[in-house]
Amino acid sequence: MNRREFVLMASASAPAAFAGGATERARGANDRIRVAVIGVNGRGKNHIDGFEPLENVEVAALVDVDLAVANERAAAFEKRYGRRPAVVQDMRRVFDDKDIDVVSIATPNHWHALATIWACQAGKDVYVEKPATHSLAEGRSMMAAAKKYNRIVQHGVQLRSSEAIREAVDKLRQGVIGDVYMARATIFKWRPKLVNHPVENPPSTLDYNLWVGPAKFRPYSKNHVHYNWHWTWDYGNGEIGNQGVHELDMLQWGLGVKHPTRICAMGGKYLWNDHRETPELMTALCEFGREKKFAEIAVRFWCSNNETDEANGNLFYGSEGYMVISGYTKYQVFLGREGKPGPKGSAPTRHFENFIQAVRSRKPEELNGPLETAHYSCALAHLANAAFRVGGVLDFDPDKEQFLNNPKANALLVDTYRKGFEVPPPHKV
């Protein structure tokens, strides 16, 4: 029996369990929120340190398919915070735990959608790491689940909760650089050559079947466990779907666009002869025909000038000047042909705080990074990857969310799932 079937049986016998009742009330500032962090090898460490210091928020459980990782993280947590959270190997245990209010998902990409849907079905609110989806079709299922089960779901794009970046977008809307017609995303993350590892037996502490979960089964290898799955199509989405989702989210937010109507992408592997499947270098061009906007996306792995004062950022071009977004926290405007300095700002991001605020209020509209924005920013990465993999200039129908007359490209927008780990279509969540 999979998670969805179990929850539906439970809800049939107790229809108020997950929809309405105590979990739906607005939480006061003094109500303790108990969090389970799922996936604690990489970004999960940031989730732990993001939630635990918040007032009346408690990281109650650390979940990881590798118990060695989970126990190491629990020991570090105890040393820092003076108590030891529960250690759990199978995420379904915390979905069944009525004392857990929130799950924070930092698994590999191929687990994000299903884990979010299972959590929503179990009555948990969700903070899900970027990219929210491994394939374009998953976004609609996640949105349907959040709506059906009245859940608060935040996408982990921190720049959405910087007051400076929010101010920058307001200024773009007010015309600080005139009519905005173009944006450029720079995704320049230092990524060295990969070391090749053989196929071998997984360590005894790792439930490898559960690690693979919804995705295609590949024999265990350190080539993709624990980190380098990012560069394997079955589990990751390459750099444009890794660091790049932050910049794609900013690009669409600043331009005020959703899906492109035309896209092309070129690139490849020009430096390293290793087992990485995804490109080291990629440039994508996007036309947003409905809004009459244009975008360039640049992915680089190695030595580069930093066009936005940081390796990762955005530039917006208008009729009266341009704006630079540096990382997640700073912006600067330059005006006229001479590039005269204009408004600027800097402020930290408070993304975990924004999520907890919405959990307490039960108001999804308070979220700075809701699932709808997650769907479109991740979709842009999926579209660019599809264009790279099939080649050529592809036309896209934003309403049908399909490429026009290109079955090969459309096949890349939907994943195939292993039995027991299927991501349901929107009408079956």
Tell me what pLDDT residue 192 has.
95
Number of neighbouring beta carbons within 10 Å of residue 67: 17
Tell me what pLDDT residue 331 has.
98
DSSP 343-368: EEEE--B-HHHHHHHHHHHT-GGG-S
Q: How far is CA 46 from CA 105, 129, 327, 409, in A?
A: 11, 11, 17, 35
Residues of the chain with CATH 3.30.360.10: 163-195+220-347+379-411
Q: Which residue has the tokens 């607005």?
A: 26
Give 45-53 contacts, CB < 8 A, sequence gap 24+.
Answer: 45/73, 46/106, 47/104, 47/106, 47/127, 47/129, 47/352, 48/73, 48/77, 50/351, 50/352, 51/102, 51/104, 51/352, 51/356, 52/77, 52/81
Tell me what pLDDT residue 28 has.
73
Separation CA 314–CA 147 (nearest Å): 32
Q: For every one of its 429 residues, what pLDDT tens digit does the chain have, with 9 covering 90 and above?
A: 445 454 443 333 333 333 333 345 567 767 999 999 999 999 999 999 999 999 999 999 999 999 999 999 999 999 999 999 999 999 999 999 999 999 999 999 999 999 999 999 999 999 999 999 999 999 999 999 999 999 999 999 999 999 999 999 999 999 999 999 999 999 999 999 999 999 999 999 999 999 999 999 999 999 999 999 999 999 999 999 999 999 999 999 999 999 999 999 999 999 999 999 999 999 999 999 999 999 999 999 999 999 999 999 999 999 999 999 999 999 999 999 999 999 999 999 999 999 999 999 999 999 999 999 999 999 999 999 999 999 999 999 999 999 999 999 999 999 999 999 999 999 999
Residue type at 64 in one-letter notation: D
Residue type at 424 in one-letter notation: P
CA end-to-end distance (rounded Å), the chain: 15
The CATH number of the structural domain formed by 163-195+220-347+379-411 is 3.30.360.10
Residue 379 contacts residue 245 (beta carbons within 8 Å):
no
Q: Which residue has the tokens 């989806």?
A: 133
CATH architecture of 3-159+352-370: 3-Layer(aba) Sandwich (3.40)
Cβ-in-10-Å burial (0-12, 13-18, 19+) of 303 comes to: exposed
Both tokens of 264, joined, read: 């092309």
Separation CA 179–CA 197 (nearest Å): 51
**What is the pTM assigned to this prediction?**
0.94
Residue 141 contacts residue 425 (beta carbons within 8 Å):
yes
Residues near 162 by Cβ (< 8 Å), separated by ≥ 6? 328, 329, 347, 348, 349, 350
Tell me what pLDDT residue 361 has.
98
DSSP E strands in 77-217: the ranges are 86-88, 102-105, 125-129, 153-156, 180-188
Separation CA 326–CA 314 (nearest Å): 7
DSSP 182-227: EEEEEEE----PPPP--B-PPPTTB-HHHHHTTS-----BTTTTTT
Residues of the chain with CATH 3.40.50.720: 3-159+352-370
